[in-house]
């Protein structure tokens, strides 16, 4: 155990003074972490500090709550990397919904019998929820919009006001002979809140188990999530570190609570503190960000450049064109030059405000002519995250190598789990499992060398692991046609990669995106960083929301520009081809944005 005065950041990481203060704070804190200020690192170092100094000693834990599975596992990984004693950390990193579900599943009996759901409820099965709404309203005349709205807005917390809602509530909790109980994510969190509200001992148990809580991307917290946090931890000794940036609050439309920072400071008597070293962007890009502060109503403007940049580094440009065809050509040319300078395709991003599929085709074609791959990233990302796909990709990669890597270890322990032999110490059983797995990989390897089809290969891998294994380990594959759909869309996309690639290893690398330029919406790029950012269509059509919600739209622009490390390119085209009108629509460059960038454009 280290004395708290002698603790130094893990891996000799440099922490700015205020980051260091946040790491060691014993009070509730709101850490405003602007783009690139290293919030994940700060939280990981804080976890290290609390563990290493014994401030958070056994059996106490740290709870980190994120919105997305991605962020939750990234933070968990970073903490693991920063902790010296591997394995000896008590860091629970999970999403809001995972936490709520855990509360509900573990303490379901703490609910009054009238609102206690069946144990085997489905999680937001939308088709079946729609059937429930129809059943409850005894009408098949509702349109799908009304049906969706009804179950989405149903609340277990507010008293039911009419018979249809009463009936729907009961259907969700208990189902019928034909329909299984079925709760929305919203509903699960409401029931979790009810459990904590009505059972002080459960609330107390959480507070004791987790004396330290981290809240990630705090600016996006919804009313319900905040209520959940308050129910669990308000007026308790638990020390909460909330990290976020109001300038990057771009989820208002999805219900992010606008006053969250103020509310947290008041409710939890939290101090506010700003991280001010931007480790990501070159000075010129940071200067552009700073020039937006006034319009973002940000008073605090102390931002320091990272020492790795010279003062003049960072390039901002505007590509203007007469039509979108010319624009695509110019963008492709510019990207090709960047690639020739040695920038890798996956260090470049093409951003659009909304509807990537409307803007992508011309640019994809123009890049293709130059031999550069680009793709709408979300089509692939949802698939890459599927556990089934991960296992298939691992099977292919491990068949092509013979080294006993960390990946192989993970693959092996998953296999042992699938055989129901996860916690054995008998060396022989482990040896047998290794042998079986190696034989399987050998046979797969033979298939790969014999130029098998993707379909046959996938079938073979699934047969080995068995459908039953996938369905028991990952319950999302149990219902509907999730498993079938995942397999089909994987085969389709993977076939494209295999046809154009030279080897299976290359095809897998391409599939996970190592060789192509991602195209995505600004919202999807939140939290990511790229060496070069191309923001397509700085016009009043793409940014139509500027007229009805200028603040949120300014923040979206801010998120977009703050993804860039070194190169930032905007495009504007006077006309764009639309499917319906063979004539061309003219568009106007948003003048406020143009005024903002023109001082920085070379």
Partner DNA sequence: GGTGCGTTCCTTTTT
Partner DNA sequence: GGAACGCACC
Q: Is residue 295 close enough to count as binding DNA by CB under 7 A?
A: no
What is the H or E stretch that residue 207 is in? Answer: helix 200-209
- Nearer Cβ to DNA, position 403 or 579? 579
Q: Which stretch binds DNA (CB under 7 A): 83-91, 171-179, 407-415, 575-583?
A: 575-583
Q: Calculate the alpha carbon distances from 451 to 438, 441, 464 in Å.
A: 20, 16, 19
Taking the complex as a whole, the smallest distance from the CB of residue 579 to DNA amounts, in Å, to 5
CA-closest candidate to residue 272, choices 18, 558, 17, 50? 18
Q: Is residue 547 close enough to count as binding DNA by CB under 7 A?
A: yes
- Nearer Cβ to DNA, position 50 or 292? 292
| Contacting residues for 117 by C-beta, under 8 A, at least 6 apart | 104, 108, 111, 172, 173, 174, 181, 183, 191
Taking the complex as a whole, the smallest distance from the CB of residue 356 to DNA amounts, in Å, to 7
Taking the complex as a whole, the smallest distance from the CB of residue 364 to DNA amounts, in Å, to 17
Q: Nearest 5°: phi and psi at 594?
A: -65, -45
What 3-state class would DSSP assign to 129?
helix
Residue 102 CA neighbour count, 13 Å, CB half: 11
Identify the residue among 476, 495, 506, 529 touching DNA (CB under 7 A): 476
Q: Which stretch binds DNA (CB under 7 A): 13-21, 81-89, 491-499, 538-546?
A: 538-546
Taking the complex as a whole, the smallest distance from the CB of residue 377 to DNA amounts, in Å, to 10
Taking the complex as a whole, the smallest distance from the CB of residue 48 to DNA amounts, in Å, to 25
Taking the complex as a whole, the smallest distance from the CB of residue 479 to DNA amounts, in Å, to 8
- Nearer Cβ to DNA, position 28 or 248? 248
- Nearer Cβ to DNA, position 97 or 334? 97
Taking the complex as a whole, the smallest distance from the CB of residue 451 to DNA amounts, in Å, to 35
What 3-state class would DSSP assign to 112?
coil
- Nearer Cβ to DNA, position 271 or 529? 529
Q: Is residue 544 close enough to count as binding DNA by CB under 7 A?
A: yes
89-93-98-102 Cα dihedral, nearest 10 degrees: 30
Taking the complex as a whole, the smallest distance from the CB of residue 237 to DNA amounts, in Å, to 28
Tell me the per-residue interface mask from 339 to 378 with DNA, x by CB under 7 A, - otherwise.
---------------xxx---------------------x
What 3-state class would DSSP assign to 562?
coil
CB 53 within 8 A of CB 4: yes
Token code pair at residue 472: 């028991």
Quick one: three-class SS letters along 16-82? CHHHHHHHHCCCCEEEEECCCCCHHHHHHHHHHHHHHCCCCCCCCCEEEEECCHHHHHHHHHHHHHH
Residues 87-106 contacting DNA, CB under 7 A: 94-95, 97-98, 101
Taking the complex as a whole, the smallest distance from the CB of residue 345 to DNA amounts, in Å, to 21
Query: Would you say 571 is a known binding-site residue?
Result: no
- Nearer Cβ to DNA, position 147 or 243? 147
Residues 511-530 contacting DNA, CB under 7 A: 521, 523-524
Taking the complex as a whole, the smallest distance from the CB of residue 361 to DNA amounts, in Å, to 13
Q: Is residue 267 close enough to count as binding DNA by CB under 7 A?
A: no
- Nearer Cβ to DNA, position 52 or 216? 216
Query: Would you say 35 is a known binding-site residue?
Result: yes
Query: Would you say 342 is a known binding-site residue?
Result: no
Tell me the per-residue interface mask from 107 to 126 with DNA, x by CB under 7 A, - otherwise.
----------------xx--
Identify the residue among 443, 475, 598, 599 touching DNA (CB under 7 A): 475
Query: Would you say 59 is a known binding-site residue?
Result: no
Residues 45-84 contacting DNA, CB under 7 A: 67-70
For the four alpha carbons of 88, 94, 98 and 100, in that order, the dihedral sign comes to positive
CA-closest candidate to residue 564, choices 244, 248, 282, 354? 282
CB 278 within 8 A of CB 38: no
Residue 580 CA neighbour count, 13 Å, CB half: 1
Query: Would you say 37 is a known binding-site residue?
Result: yes
CA-closest candidate to residue 216, choices 307, 93, 322? 93
Q: How far apart are CA 600 and CA 475, in angstroms?
A: 52
Residue 586 CA neighbour count, 13 Å, CB half: 1
Q: Which stretch binds DNA (CB under 7 A): 48-56, 246-254, 464-472, 502-510?
A: 246-254
For the four alpha carbons of 379, 386, 562 and 261, in that order, the dihedral sign comes to positive
Residues 211-240 contacting DNA, CB under 7 A: none
- Nearer Cβ to DNA, position 67 or 415? 67
Residue that the structure tokens 């489905």 belong to: 122
What is the H or E stretch that residue 323 is in? Answer: strand 315-323
Q: Which stretch binds DNA (CB under 7 A): 5-13, 451-459, 463-471, 574-582?
A: 574-582
Q: Is residue 141 close enough to count as binding DNA by CB under 7 A?
A: no
- Nearer Cβ to DNA, position 41 or 97? 97
How many residues bind DNA (CB under 7 A)? The answer is 39
The DSSP annotation for 429-490 comes to HHHHHHHHHHHHHHHHHHHHHTT--HHHHHHHHHHHH-HHHHHHH-GGGTSTTHHHHHHHHH
Largest CA distance in the chain: 74
CA-closest candidate to residue 219, choices 67, 447, 43? 67
Query: Would you say 453 is a known binding-site residue?
Result: no
Residues 299-328 contacting DNA, CB under 7 A: none
Binding residues for ATP: 33-40
User: Where do contacts with DNA occur on this chain (CB under 7 A)?
Assistant: 67-70, 94-95, 97-98, 101, 123-124, 143, 145, 185, 250-251, 253-254, 354-356, 378, 475-476, 521, 523-524, 540-541, 544-545, 547-548, 556, 578-581, 585
Binding residues: 33-40
């Amino acid at each position: 155990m280290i004395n708290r005065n002698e603790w130094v950041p893990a891996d000799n990481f440099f922490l700015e003074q205020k980051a260091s203060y946040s790491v060691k704070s014993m009070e509730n804190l709101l850490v405003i972490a602007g783009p690139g200020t290293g919030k994940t690192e700060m939280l990981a170092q804080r976890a290290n500090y609390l563990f290493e100094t014994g401030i958070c000693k056994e059996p106490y834990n740290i709870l980190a709550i994120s919105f997305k599975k991605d962020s939750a596992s990234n933070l968990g990984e970073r903490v693991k990397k920063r902790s010296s004693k591997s394995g000896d950390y008590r860091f629970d990193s999970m999403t809001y919904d995972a936490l709520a579900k855990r509360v509900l599943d573990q303490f379901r009996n703490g609910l009054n019998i009238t609102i206690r759901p069946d144990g085997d409820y489905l999680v937001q099965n939308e088709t079946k929820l729609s059937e429930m709404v129809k059943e409850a309203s005894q009408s098949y005349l509702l349109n799908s919009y009304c049906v969706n709205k009804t179950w989405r807005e149903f609340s277990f917390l507010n008293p039911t006001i009419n018979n249809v809602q009463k009936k729907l509530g009961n259907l969700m909790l208990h189902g019928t002979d034909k329909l299984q109980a079925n709760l929305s994510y919203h509903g699960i969190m409401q029931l979790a809140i009810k459990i904590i509200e009505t059972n002080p001992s459960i609330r107390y148990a959480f507070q004791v188990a987790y004396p330290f809580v981290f809240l990630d991307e705090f600016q996006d917290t919804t009313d319900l999530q905040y209520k959940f946090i308050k129910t669990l931890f308000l007026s308790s000794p638990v020390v909460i570190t909330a990290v976020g940036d109001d300038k990057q609050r771009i989820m208002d439309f999805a219900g992010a609570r606008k006053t969250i920072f103020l509310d947290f400071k008041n409710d939890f008597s939290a101090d506010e503190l700003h991280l001010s070293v931007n480790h990501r962007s070159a000075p010129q890009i940071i200067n552009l960000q700073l020039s937006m502060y006034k319009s973002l109503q940000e008073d605090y403007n102390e931002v320091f450049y990272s020492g790795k940049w010279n003062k003049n580094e960072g390039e901002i440009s505007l590509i203007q064109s007469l039509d979108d065809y010319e624009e695509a050509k110019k963008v492709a040319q510019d990207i090709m030059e960047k690639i020739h300078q040695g920038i890798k395709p996956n260090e470049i991003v093409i951003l659009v405000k909304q509807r990537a599929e409307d803007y992508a085709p011309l640019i994809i074609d123009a890049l293709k002519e130059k031999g550069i791959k680009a793709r709408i990233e979300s089509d692939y990302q949802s698939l890459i995250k599927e556990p089934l796909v991960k296992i298939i990709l691992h099977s292919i990669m491990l068949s092509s190598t013979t080294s006993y890597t960390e990946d192989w270890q993970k693959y092996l322990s998953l296999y042992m789990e699938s055989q129901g032999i996860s916690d054995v110490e008998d060396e022989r059983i482990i040896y047998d499992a290794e042998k079986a797995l190696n034989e399987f990989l050998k046979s797969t390897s033979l298939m790969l060398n014999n130029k098998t089809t993707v379909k046959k290969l996938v079938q073979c891998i699934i047969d080995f692991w068995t459908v039953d294994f996938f369905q028991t380990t990952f319950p999302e594959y149990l219902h509907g046609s999730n498993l079938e759909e995942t397999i089909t869309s994987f085969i389709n996309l993977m076939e494209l990669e295999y046809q154009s690639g030279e080897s299976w290893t290359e095809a897998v690398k391409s599939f996970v995106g190592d060789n192509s330029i991602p195209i995505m919406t600004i919202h999807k790029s939140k939290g990511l960083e790229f060496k070069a950012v191309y923001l397509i269509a700085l016009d009043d059509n793409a940014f139509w929301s500027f007229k009805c919600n200028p603040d949120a739209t300014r923040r979206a622009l801010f998120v977009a520009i703050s993804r860039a490390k070194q190169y930032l390119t905007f495009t504007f085209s006077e006309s764009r081809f639309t499917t319906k009108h063979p004539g061309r629509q003219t568009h106007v460059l948003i003048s406020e944005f143009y005024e903002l960038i023109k001082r920085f454009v070379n």
